[in-house]
Amino acid sequence: MPRPITIDDLFVLKLVSDAQISPGGERVVCVVKTIDREKNKYLSHLYLCDLRTGEVRQFTSGEVSDSQPRWSPDGKSIAFVSNRQKPKTQIYLIPADGGEARALTSLDEGGIGEIAWSPDGTKIAFTFRLTPEQWRESAVKERKEKGLSTPPRIITRPFYRLDGAGYFDGQYYQVWVADAHTGEAKQLTSENTSCGSLSWSPDSQRIAFVCNRTENPDLNPNLEDIWLVPAEGGELQRVEAPKGPKGGVAFSPDGTCIAFIGHTKVEDIWGVTNNHLWITNLKTGEARDITECFDRSLGNLTLSDTRDVSGGSCPVWSPDGTRLLFLASDWGSTVLFTAPADGGEPTAVRGNRSDITGFSVSADGTRIAWSEGAPSRLHEVFVGELRDGSLTEATLVTALNASWLEEVALQTPEEFTCTSPDGNTVHGWVLHPPDFDPGRKYPLILEVHGGPHAQYGWVFFHEFQLLAAQGYMVLYTNPRGSKGYGEAYTAAIKGDWGGPDYTDLMAAVEHIVARGYTDETRMGVMGGSYGGYMTNWVVSHTNRFRAAITDRSVVNLHSMAGTCDFPLLPGDYFRGNAWAEPEHLWEHSPLKYAGNIETPLLIIHSEGDLRCPMEQAEQLFAALKVQGKEAVLVRYPLESSHGLSRSGPPDLRVHRLEQILQWWSRHLGEASHQVSAGQ
C-alpha cells in the first residue's frame, strides 16, 4: 500500500537533468542531483547511460558538485565542471570508457558559467568570473584569525549584485579558451559586464557570444549584441542583428548563419515579450524572426520546487541546416518544437502535458536525448529517433526514481478551465487529497506562482503533493500575466498587478467552490515572490480566506525600486518613478492596503534575498503588528536567498515546510477532518 509523501522525501529524490547524447548516439551522460542530509548539502554526479546495453551507472562520485557534462567531438572523453578543488572550480576531463577525472584548468578562485568544445576537439571555450582577492576563502580566513573586520564595498554602479550570485565587486563573466590537451587557459574578453551564450564556428576559428558593450549596460540591459572573437584572441566583431535581449546562440552547420533566441523590445526588462527564434546571415547582415507568427515564448518557463528556474535553452540545427529544434512554453507544458530555417509554422515534436528541461542531438541528427517529467513523475532521461523533423521510438532510459514512485502515493492533477467575469479563460489544475470523495467537503489552498511572467504546469511539485497528502485540495492556475498563452495574455497585467490577475485567481476559486466539495470556511492562499505579492493583495482586498502565507514577497513597490538587485527603471513597466512620481507604485503596493488585512498571515523571508529584500517583509510585519493583527515573521538567515524553497540549505527548506504545515493545521484545522457535503 503506497504511503503519503512527506517532507523527508526531499532527501530521497534523484533530480535528473542535462541529458547529453554522445556524437555517435550510442551513450548519454546526465547530471543527477541529490541531498546529503547528514552533511546538509547538495551533491551532483554524472551518470552514464549505454543505449546499446541499457546499462545506467553512476560515473562520478564523491562529496562534490559535478555539472555541465559535454562530449568531446570524437566521443572519447567528457568535459565537465566540478568544485572538487574547493574553493576553486575547474574544468575536468574524464575518459568516456571510465577512469580517473583530471583537472584540465588551474584557475584561481571563481565561478565557471558555461563550457563548449571546439568542433575540432582541440579547445574548450568557457566563461569565468574571478573572485576578487579580498573575498576569497583564504582572505576571509585570515581576517577571522586576525580579528579584522569585513572590508567595506565601494559601489559606483546601479546593478552591482544578483540574487543567488552575490555582489559582483567589479568582476564579470568573461570569455576564456583552454587548450584541451595542456589546459593552458587564455582570457579573450575584458568587458565591464558579463558575457555568455557561447557557440563555436564550424571551422573552430571563432567563438560567438552575447554581451552588452554599450556605455551604460546597467540602465540599458537589453541592448545586447552577438560578438565574434578569434579563438586565439583579438579584435571583436559585431554580428548584425537588431538590438534586444539575446541568448541560445548557435552557428549553422555551414558557418554562414547564427541562430539566437530573443526579441527587439529593448524597453521590456520584465519579460513580457515573447522570445522568438532568429537567424542572422553573417554575409548579408540580414536578421529574420523565423517564428514571428508563433505566439509563444521560447524556453522553459515552468516553475517547480525541485529545480531552479530553467529559462532559456539553445536551439539545435539539423546537420543539413534546414531545420532547428527548440523548447517553448505552451499551456503549462514545455514542448520540443521544430521549425524550418527559412520560416514557417513550428511543429510540436514532444512534450504535451509534460515538462522538458533540455535536449541534445547526435552528430548525424538522427538521435535525440532529453530530460522529461510530469506532475506525478520526476524527470528522467529519454531518447528517440529523429526522422524528417518527427520524433519516433521515444524510449525511457533512466528510472532512478522508480522504486520511490512505487512507495509513495502521488496525486494526479485534474486540469480545468473557467471563465472570469470579464470573459477571460483561466487555465488551472486542482490536486485532490488521497481517497478523494466528492460527497465530502475539504479545505482548499490556493497557490499563486511567482514571476509574474512564468507558468505553473505539468511538472512535479513537492510542496503541492505534500499539501495534498495532508488532506488539502491544492488549487493552482495561470492567471493573466502568465506565460504560455500568448503575448497579449502576458501583457495584460503590465503595470497593473492586482487587476486582471486578481480577477482570474478569484474566478478559479469560485469555480472550484461551485463544485460543492470545498469547505468555504477553511480556505487558504499562499505564494512566493510575485505570488507573495498577490497573496498580500488578495488578503488586503477580500476576507474570503481564513489564513494566508506570503513567501519572499513584494510588499512596497516604492521601496523595491531602490532595494531590488536589478534596477527598476522608471516608466518601463510601472508608471512614474520612486522620487518624483511615486503615486502609481504606491497605488499598486499591498502595503497601502494593509489596514484592510484581517486574515492571519505567516510571512516567510530570507535575509539573503537580494531580489525581494528583507525590508519588504519587515514593512508588512510591522504594519500588521502595530495594528494588533495576527502575523508571524519567519526570518531565515543570510545563507538563504530568494530561491530558498527550491535550492536553499536543506535544513532550512525542511524548517520552512514544517512552518507551512503547522500554520495550515492551526488555522484550517486538521485537514484530514472532512465533513459531508450536505453539512
Q: Examine residue 132 and say whether the peptide bond preceding it is cis (omega within 30 degrees of 0).
A: no
The CA distance from 373 to 267, in Å, is 35
- The single residue listed with the C-alpha cell 541531498 is 35
The CA distance from 359 to 381, in Å, is 9
- The single residue listed with the C-alpha cell 546499446 is 52
Torsion angle, alpha carbons of 646, 650, 651, 655, to 10: 20
Q: Where are the beta strands (DSSP E) in 299-354?
A: 316-317, 323-330, 333-340, 347-350
Backbone φ and ψ of 521, nearest 5°: -85, -5
Catalytic residues, by residue number, are: 529, 642
The CA distance from 27 to 367, in Å, is 10
The CA distance from 496 to 575, in Å, is 10
Long-range contacts of residues 209-212, Cβ cutoff 8 Å, at least 24 apart: 209/127, 209/175, 209/249, 210/246, 210/247, 210/249, 210/260
Extract the C-alpha cell encoding 92: 575536468
Task: State the Cα angle at 193 between 187 and 195, rounded to 5°.
Answer: 55
Q: Is 403 within 8 Å of 62 (Cβ atoms)?
A: no
Identity of the residue numbered 39:
K
The CA distance from 308 to 408, in Å, is 24
Give the list of residues 6+ apart from residue 279 with CB closer than 8 angstroms, or none. 252, 257, 258, 259, 287, 288, 290, 341
